[in-house]
Structure formats: C-alpha cells, structure tokens
Structure 1
C-alpha cells in the first residue's frame, strides 16, 4: 500500500472524509445511547462522578425496603395497642359493673348503741324543754275610741242586734194588725197573710236554709233520722228547718213559726231532738224575734250578726223591706260592740289549728246550758269550751270570753289537760306549766308547753281578731319555740382509729358549732373520711357501719383498724363489732364478673403476642433498628416493650378476694387506669417514631431522584444537538465524497492520454 501515490488534493479530501466519518460515528453513538458520555474516554470527570452518584442512589434505594418493613412493624404495634386499649376499656366496664352490682354483703360490719331520745336532727339524746311565752298583738275591747285593752273576761260575742219594720203591717183584710198568730194560709182574711210563700220557697239565714212546704207537718215517727218535729216545724238541730204551710182549709204555719225558724238558724233559739221530736227554747240570755201590733222584730244572736235573704214580696209582707217582686231581698241586723266585748268579733265557723289540734268557734250556747242541747258522748264542758279531752275544742261564741280561748289553746298545747266525766271537763295545769293569760296591755301571753314548739294557723278571721296575724295582720301563722336544754351526751367524745387507711375520727357532741357535732349529717361528714357511715332509727339506736367500699372489712380488726374509744364509750355501751355477712347471690354475680375479667386478660396476652410483622413484635420486647443512609451513620433504634397483662401491671383476679367490695374493685380500676395511661403513652411514642420513619422514607425517595437527576445531567446527550450534528455531518460527508471525486478527475485525464 505504501507504493500507492495519491495526489495531495486526493489525500486531503480523503482525510476530510475520514474525519467526518469519525464524527458521524460519534454522533450516532450518542443518539443511540442517549448519553454524551459513554465511557471514561468520553469525559473521565463526568463519567466517574455520574457513576458515583448512581452508585449512591442504588445504595439508598436498597435501604427503602428495610424502611418500608419498619413502617409496617410500627403500624402492627400501633394496631396492637389500639386493640389492647379496647380490651382495657372492656375490663374497666366489667369493674364498673361490679361497682354497680348489689354490695356483696347482706350485713356490713357495724357497732351500735342506743341514745335515749336521739333523732337524726339531734343526736345528743333526750333534751329537756321548758315552756316559753309568746305575745300576740294588743287586743282592744269595744269601748269608743278603740284603744282600751281587752281583758280575760271580755266576751267574744256582743249584744243582740235588732231589725224591725218601719210601719204597721196587716193581715190580708187590711185592718188586722199582724201578730205571731197570723197564719200563712187560710180562708179568713183577718187571720192570714195576703200572699203566702209557695211550696219550695226558701229563706237563707246566716248560711242556714228555711224551706216552705205545702201540707201538714209529719208525725215524729216519719221525720228523717236526726231531725225532730215541733208543731209546724221540722228541724235538723243545726239551724236548717222546714216550715209546713198546711192548706187554706187547714192552715198550718204561722208568722210566729217563721220567726222561730229564723231564730233557730241565727242561734237565738236552740232545739233538742229526741225520738223524732224537737224541743225548742230561747238561748240563755237571748231575746227571741217577735211580731206584735203589726211590727215584726228580728233579733240576731250574741254570737253572730243576722242576715236573712228571701223572696222580696214575702219579706215586704212582714214589713221588713220595701222591695217587691219575685226576686230576693236581704234584711240584716249588725251587732254593736261594747266595753264588755271585743272590738273585733270572731266569725261563726272560724278555726284555729294549734299544734295539730283544732279549735272551732261556734255561734251557739254551750251544750248543757239552759235550753241548749246536751253534751255529746265523749266530750266535756268547762265554761264555754267543749273538749274531746285530746286537745280539740269548740269555743261557743254566745257566752265565750278571752279566757275560754286561752283555755282551749292550753288544752291544744298540753299546758292543761282535761278529765271528762258525765259531760263535764275538769281541767288540770300540767306540772311545771303556767296557763296562758292576757296581760294588762291586752296581749295574749301564750304558753308554748313542752310537747312541741307552738304553731297556730287558722281559717276565717280568728287568727287576725286574736292578734296572731303579725304586725301587718296578714301573716298566716303564729309560731314560738320552746326553751330547750342540752341533750344527754353533750360534751362526750367518740373516736375511731384509722379504718382501712382512712382519717382517724375524733368527734365531740354539742350544739353543732365550734367543731361539735349535733346532727346525723354532721356525724356522717366526720366519719366519711374514715370509710364509715352512721344511721339512727326511731328508737335512738345509733349504728356505725363500714361503707360499701369496705363492706368486707370488720371494724376494729387488726387488718382494717377502726378501733372505737372516747368518753362516749364510758357513758354508753357499744356492741361488739359484727363481722360482715356475705350475700350469696351478690357474691355469685361478682364471681361471674371476675371470670369475665380474667378472660379479658387472656385476650390481652394473645393480642400482645400477635402484634408482629415479619417476625418483629415491638409489643413483645423486640427491637427495631432502621438505617436511613448508605454509610449507616443515620439510623433509628426503637426499643420494644412487653405489653402483655403482666407487663401492663394487671394480674388475674381471685374469686372471694377481688370484686368482693367497692374498695377491692376500685383497686382493680386504678390498675386499669394506669395500664390505659401506659398504652396511650406508648401509642404516642410509636406515633412519633412512625412519623420519623415515614419522613425519612420520603426523604430517601426524593434524594434518590436528586442523585439520579444529577448523574443524568452529567452524562446525558442533548438529542436535539446530536440530531443536528448528525444531519450536518451527513451533508459534509456527501460534500467530501464529491470533492474526492473531483480530485480524482485529473488522474483520469492522464489515463485518457495514455490510451
């Protein structure tokens, strides 16, 4: 080949063509590999730098699998903790159910003693009481001016009131003056009224009813039970009367009968009933209503004002009103007070309720007096008071006085007692008591007695009239407290040593001030901190027993404590502390709860054992180490825990020992709460570690991308540039071939000459 001689132009074109071919080959290589650096010969610096970056990215990528496994290990542990927490909550529910179950003992340990007279309100025992005195407002009599004080003899009633016709009235003949003998019906004009009441007409007198009936009065054997007949009248003994009109042919009732019926209703007259017959008489000291010389005069009783309401035409017939017509008219007669009566009068039917006993004020003469009904069986009369001997009385207004009211009040309070015999009540003042009285100022001095604090309420106007309605006259009750002495154990001290870790008790009984104890509530407040409680029954039996929390313990035992002492034990004898008595049904229920609880613990153990991933269990004491970089310098070590029942501080329960009372149950609940807190703390730690691992996992993924991007930046070819280069080199190669062809043309010309 060395013998071949090429011209310089050919050789030059050949060299250019060879160079273009080399560049074209290089460009095509870059286009096919996508890299501008394919070997150290291309660019040693970029090649080895890119190789180092790729190697590091590969190493970190290899760590991602371990990190991913670590994430799953942590998630498995976290899932286990979640399940363990649910199991702990179930165990708590069982323990709380034990607290709500009937206490496991039908009788708890207790000591007791009897304190005579003790009550829940006052544990000090029998208290001595002295009668106190309470004063009413000032009472005045009816003296003009209304400022004269009343006295014990001031009467409750007043003088009779009268109301009379203003002119002469006549029989139906118009000339015969009206008298009591005039009949309501008849055939003779001179002996009857012009217009008689119709059958069924009524008069209302002080709330009592007078009814007019046609026909003759019935025989005594035909009257209703409890009523009696007298002439043309049938009365029930309480002021309600039926007046029988008769007929025109056989007249019955007279004007005098009507006036008698009005007097029976007003209390001016009384009736005594026996075997269907009524004996009617004028009340002692009273004047009956009358009709004479054409004038009708109505009288009130001394115990109540008079009010008569009836047909206007009939009342006009009697000359008592000028009103006419079929409607009603009312005639009244109001009593006037005097120096011998109260300035304000008590209304008929008013009552006082004194310490639960009832005093009734009645407009009538006292039973057993002249023309008054006999004293009812079982009752007795003293003055103008009728009593049942048990504190309930009736004060009769027609003759009663302030002294009678005071007597009735003392019977109600027990200041006086009544012995009843043959309708008479003999009053005796209780030992050490002072009868109620009225002072010179006109105030009632009421003795409270010793049986109860004084409490007086009333109906009607009695409370107000007697000055017991307060300064404003609107109070609904009058009260006064007895004077009380000290109880039987005042100053005595009761002690209990610490019971089941409670606070020792040192209680002094007193009036409830300055740290002393008076009531059962105060005693229980003192005993509560020592796990004891007290009760008292109606007989004063004070019992101190254990609370439900320590129902299985015995007061005063060496294991529980609670020994009793103090000066109270020298004054009273306490019983020996009883042992608690188990309730079989309740203990069986609690034993079932123990079994349920132990089953939960077994599930806790198995759940802890199963909380693993790929052989690693962070809840069973395993450790987890995660490497985050290729050098091993960046890593995280997670130390596992042992969270089976024992690791959580929980132990299997024993029937007859655990859940037997609230204290034992509360201990279990305390351990469960501690275990729950431990799980929450570990869950927080696992959550923190899981966050760290996940952050590093994401970091490594991003770092790999950064490394690979950097490597590519060093070695990758720009395909746009290389494609342009390839196109240019192809064009150059074509030109070089053409140039080489032109260079060879001169030699071809020489060849032509040689031919």
Structure 2
C-alpha cells in the first residue's frame, strides 16, 4: 500500500471520512448500550465514581433481600402469637365454664379440655418457624436484621419460648391434674319371715294393743333379737314386757336394729320382719322359744326385689352426690324396684358405672370423682347390725385441677397473666415489624438514589446522541462527495490520452 500515491486532496478527504466513521461508531455504541461511559477509557472519573455507587446499591440490594426474609420471620411469629392468644382465651372460657358448675365430673372434663388446649398452644409455637428460624422457640432463634453495608446499623429481636407453656419465663401455664377415680362395692342381701300376734281368743292385735295380751307372751317375758342364734343378743334390742308395753313398742324395738325393719298388718296382726343378716326374735320363756327367725342370703339375680332387704323400703329415696355436694340424681324405691333398676340408675350418670355380681350379691361401683350413694332410710347399706351413716362412698385417688372454686380462680389468674404477656410480646413484635418495614422502604429509596446518581454519570442522552449520529451521517455524505470531487480532479490527466 506504501507504493500507492494519493493526492493531498484525496488523502485529506479520506482522513475526514475515517474520522467521521470513528465518531459514528462511538455514537452508535452509545445508542446501542445506552451508556456514554462504558469503561474507564471513556471517562475515568465518572466510571469509577459510578462503579462505587453501583457497588453500594448492589450491597444494599442484598441487605434488602435479607430484610424481606426477616419480615416474613417476624410475620410468622406474629401469626403464631395471634393464634396462641385465641387458644389462651379459649382456655380461659373453659375455666369460666368450670366455675359455673359444681359437678366434679364436668369440672374434670373441662380440665382435660384445658390440657388439650395447652398442648395445641405448644404445637402452634413449634410450627411458627420460617426458613428454620422460630421467634417463639426460645434459645438459638434470636433474629438479627442488618440495615447497612458495614453492619453498624442493625436490629436484634430476642426469641421467646412458648413451646413449653409451663416455663415461668413464658406463659407460666401448667397442665392440670385430670384426676384419677376409684371404686367400691356394697352387699345386697336379705330375707324375710312373718309371725302373727293374736290374743287368747285368736283375735288379731293392732299396733296399740298391749303386747302381754298376745298369745304366748306375758309381763314376765323379755323379748330379744339374737344374731341368728338363741344366745347372742343384739345390743339395744331387749324389750322387757310390762303391763303397758304395746305391739308398737315391739315394732320399734325391731326397727331399732340397723339393717332390720318390720311391717305390721293392722287387720291380720301379721308382722313381717326383713333383715340383712340372720336374726331371731327370742322369747325368754324357753331358751328355744322363737317368735320368728329370718335367714338372710345374698341376692343372686338382677330381678331380685330390693324391698326384700332390710336396707330398702317403699318410698325410700336414693341420691347420688359428688364430693362438691353436687346432686347427680335421685331414685325412689317402689314395690317392684329390682337390682337391675338400681344398677341402671347408677349407670345413667357420666363418669359412674355399676355392675352386679350374681356370685357374691355385691354391686361394684366405679367413679371418676368422689361419690356418695345415700338414702333417707337409716338402714341403707347396714351390715352386721351396724348402721352406715354416710351410705356407700368412693374417694377418688386424686381430684382434677378444677376441683374447687379456688383452684379454678388461680388458673384464671394465671391465664390473665399469660394473656397480658402475649399482648405485650405481640406489641413488641409489631414494633419490630414496623421498624424493619420502614428501613426496607428507606433502603429501596437509597438504592434508587444511588443507581440514579450512577446513571447521571454514565448513561447516554439518546436524543443528543441521535442528533449527533444524524449530523455525522450528513458529514459522512459530504466527505464522500468531496472525496469524489478530489478523485475526479486526478482523472483529468486521462483526457490527454
């Protein structure tokens, strides 16, 4: 190429075209990239300044992502606290329900439901995690959110532990004793026999008749109730017959023995003696003289009639009550009441069950709470000629945590403290949430400011560069025309040939 000789005019126009092409290439690059400074060669000061601004914006963008994850962690904990608060309020409602009833069984049921709610509270606390971080799970779950690139501005949120409701540093709510029931049994037995009181003429005596007028009885006699034999006299059952002793006095003497009762027919003079144990009404005229004897046996079938025992009489009212004196229900004995009726009556109530053993004649009772089966008949459940003043009783092995009003009120106080703790913690988390959101918005604005500043230093003005390109295209066309003219001037020498 060095052997080719160009005229000065051609060479000048060619240089102009090359320069214009270089300028057009630069403008086209700016338009294509949108950047007026693409490297340090373009403008070192602007390039490195913009690079610093963009680097900081990038660092803040990374922190912005971390802030977003922190927000989600706090929101998860806040949702957990809201749900736990609802459950604690439900537990408080259960305690108030227990306070409205005196039934030990209902209170025991409410205590079980209360414990189930505490278990749910612990489960909710364990489930309130986000990406492995749980602000309701205590140690090792503190959350630190960094707000600037050198970590000098940050927020630390300390975790609380609600995964164990009994912790004194948490909700301080312990499971309640649910209580453990117990069992007992009582004997159903008895027998009956009759004798008739008539005078010497065979006329029936009535209750006001003098006892000495009865055939075979005189004022020299002493009547006793013996323990099924002719020798063992039951304490308090001796009746010395005097001139003023009446038939009613004899009936009262029989009735005075626990587990023994007498019925008298005024029309026939017949006395029916019912007894839970073997017994004999002895006349001391002879060591072998008995007015009547009763052989008692254990009831053997569920169809046995209750009034065949000394413990029951028509019109008796049986009552079931728990340890709080709460009456479960009552049952009135009639002439047709059977063992099965009594068992069904006991089984009618929740938390109580009864079963009759035909081999032993005993009714076994199980109860989840303290229980008493009583009767207005003083002979009820009497054994061995001894009265049972409190009926058939069961003392539960342990009471529920809602057994007494004081127990319930203590639980309610703890629940109120727990609610106060939850509300305070929810407020704290709410403040933390607002803080992170505010810093997140600020960081977004700061990133935009930095990127905008970097853009001012490096971004091309497309309108200006478009105008430049148009001007360069015009210049290129003019330079091409000028080059053509210069070339034509060199060609004039051809006209000589």
TM-score (norm 2): 0.52
Q: Which residue of 1 aligns with 2:43?
A: 43
Measured in 2, the distance between the counterparts of 1:635 and 1:690 equals 13
Compute the displacement of 1:53 (Å).
Answer: 1.9
Aligned to 1:595: 112
1:645 paired residue number:
165
Deviation, 1:605, is 1.3
Match of 1:635 in 2: 154
2:136 counterpart residue number: 619
Matches within 5 A, 1:346-361: none
Q: Are 1:711 and 2:454 matched, yes or no?
A: yes
Partner of 2:404: 661
> Which of 648, 672, 690 is the equivalent residue of 2:433?
690
SS in 1 for 2:145: strand
What CA deviation, in whole Å up to 9, does each residue of 1:346-405 have, x standing for no partner? Answer: xxxxxxxxxxxxxxxxxxxxxxxxxxxxxxxxxxxxxxxxxxxxxxxxxxxxxxxxxxxx
CA shift, 1:660, in A, is 2.5
SS of residue paired to 2:431: helix
| C-alpha separation in 1, matches of 2:119 and 2:33 | 65
Q: Distance in 2 between matches of 1:642 and 1:62?
A: 30
Q: Per-residue deviation at 1:597?
A: 1.4
* Aligned mates of 2:411, 2:489 — CA distance in 1: 117
Question: What is the CA-CA distance between 1:78 and the residue it aligns to?
Answer: 0.8
SS of 1:633's equivalent in the other structure is: coil
Shift, 1:682, TM fit? 0.2
After TM superposition, list the pairs within 5 Å mapping 1:511-550 onto structure 2.
none
Q: 1:100 — aligned with what?
A: 100
Question: How far, CA to CA, are the matches of 1:588 and 1:745 in structure 2?
Answer: 122
Aligned to 2:442: 699
**Counterpart in the other structure of 2:60:** 60
In structure 1, the gaps of 5 or more residues are 103-585
Report the alpha carbon displacement of residue 26 of structure 1 after superposing the two structures with TM: 1.2
Mapping for residues 721-740 of structure 1, pairs under 5 Å = 721-740=464-483
What pairs up with 1:398-477 in 2 under 5 angstroms? none
User: 1:31, 1:676 → 2: CA distance?
Assistant: 65
Inter-partner Cα distance in structure 2 for 1:591 and 1:5: 117
Do the aligned residues in 1 keep the contact of 2:70 with 2:143 (CA within 8 Å)? yes
Task: Indicate conservation of the 8 Å contact 2:13/2:479, yes or no.
Answer: yes
CA RMSD of aligned residues (A): 1.6
Residue 64 of structure 1 and its aligned partner are, at CA, apart by: 2.5
Q: Which residue of 2 aligns with 1:478?
A: none
Once the two structures are superposed, what CA deviation does each residue of 1:313-351 show, in whole Å capped at 9, x if it has no partner?
xxxxxxxxxxxxxxxxxxxxxxxxxxxxxxxxxxxxxxx
Question: More helix by proportion, 1 or 2?
Answer: 2
Aligned to 1:721, the other structure's residue is in SS state helix
Give how far 1:657 is off: 5.8
SS in 1 for 2:118: helix
In 2: Cα distance, 1:81 partner to 1:33 partner: 52
Does 2:492 correspond to 1:749? yes
Task: Tell me the secondary structure at the aligned position of residue 648 of structure 1.
Answer: coil
d(CA) in 1 for partners of 2:96, 2:52: 66
1:484-514, CA deviations, whole angstroms, 9 ceiling, x for partnerless residues? xxxxxxxxxxxxxxxxxxxxxxxxxxxxxxx
Give the TM-score of the pair, scaled to structure 1. Answer: 0.35
User: Per-residue deviation at 1:84?
Assistant: 0.9
Distance 1:614 1:686 in 2: 18
- Number of matched pairs: 271
The CA deviation string for residues 717-743 of structure 1, in whole angstroms up to 9 with x for no partner, is 111111111111111111112112222
| Equivalent position to 2:417, from 664, 669, 674 | 674
**Structure 2 gap ranges (5+):** 180-398
Q: For 1:240-319, what aligned pairs fall within 5 Å after superposition?
A: none
